[in-house]
């Protein structure tokens, strides 16, 4: 029984690695590295997935999600898609702040960006895009979601991950606990340019009908736009938007 389960896990890791790069596509070596596989193994899986239409390869030799996944996703959308409800709130958030606004979902130990809406300010941060994944605790959406998990879940997550090894010392457990406390105190998370220098973000949790942290709204922009005074104002706008979306999603079958 172990072998088939292992194959399914590998296929899932490969598909997630491909999806994380969105329309830019990704190379076989990059998929192998992200999925924790040897390159020949990753290539075999990608080739098999391509034969089923689950991935595709463009003229540059880069892998993208395939048409069969679109068809499967269209069927699943009626049960799981909450972006139609989230979009009007996201649009108002971008209009109110002038910054790029995002809607992300928690999937296990990760966040996945589902929607992006550009603000009016002409200089933008391009760290996030639809489909990109980050571990919990990384980026403002991931930090917000991690902060609102029960303490025992936070402890378990920090015990099984080593975020500092990939994302830097500000993601070490002791520093993350400090930032979690700050997030709980203000209600919103702040990412002070920890992914890309000069690109700041703020995030707030959206809860499901059971009161569990399920999604997050976030804003990103250049550091000069995130002064302490403006962060406080945007934080209030962000929290109001997150509350409005939490209320709207209470009628969703996925919430």
Q: Domains (ranges, CATH) in the chain?
A: 2-74 (1.10.10.10), 81-249 (3.30.450.40)
Residue 192, token pair as written in the block: 């002070």
Q: Report the SS3 class of residue 14.
A: helix
Total-model pTM: 0.77
Q: Are 169 and 146 in contact (CB under 8 A)?
A: no
In the prediction, which pLDDT does 73 show?
77
Residue-wise pLDDT tens digits, 113-154: 999 999 887 666 666 788 889 999 999 999 999 999 999 999
Q: Are 145 and 216 in contact (CB under 8 A)?
A: yes
Of 5-9, 37-41, 179-183, least confident by mean pLDDT is: 5-9
**Of 206, 203, 55, the residue nearest 128 (C-alpha):** 203
Residue-wise pLDDT tens digits, 83-103: 999 999 999 999 999 999 999
């Amino acid at each position: 029984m172990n072998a088939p389960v292992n194959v399914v896990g590998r296929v899932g890791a490969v598909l997630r690695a491909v999806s994380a790069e969105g329309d830019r596509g990704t190379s076989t070596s990059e998929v192998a590295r992200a999925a924790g596989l040897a390159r020949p193994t990753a290539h075999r899986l990608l080739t098999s997935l391509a034969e089923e239409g689950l991935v595709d390869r463009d003229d540059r030799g880069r892998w993208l999600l395939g048409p069969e996944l679109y068809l499967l996703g269209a069927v699943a959308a009626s049960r799981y898609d909450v972006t139609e409800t989230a979009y009007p709130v996201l649009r108002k958030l971008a209009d109110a702040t002038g910054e790029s606004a995002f809607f992300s979902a928690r999937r296990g130990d990760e966040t996945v960006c589902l929607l992006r809406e550009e603000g009016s300010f002409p200089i933008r941060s391009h760290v996030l895009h639809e489909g990109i994944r980050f571990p919990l605790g990384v980026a403002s959406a991931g930090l917000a979601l991690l902060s609102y998990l029960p303490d025992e879940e936070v402890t378990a997550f920090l015990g099984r991950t080593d975020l500092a090894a990939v994302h830097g010392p500000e993601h070490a457990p002791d520093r993350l606990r400090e930032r979690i406390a700050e997030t709980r105190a203000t209600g919103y998370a702040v990412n002070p340019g920890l992914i890309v220098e000069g690109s700041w973000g703020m995030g707030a949790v959206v809860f499901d009908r059971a009161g569990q942290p399920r999604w997050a709204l976030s804003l990103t922009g250049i550091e000069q736009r995130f002064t302490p005074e403006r962060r406080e104002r945007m934080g209030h706008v962000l929290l109001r938007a997150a509350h409005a979306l939490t209320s709207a999603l209470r009628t969703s079958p996925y919430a």
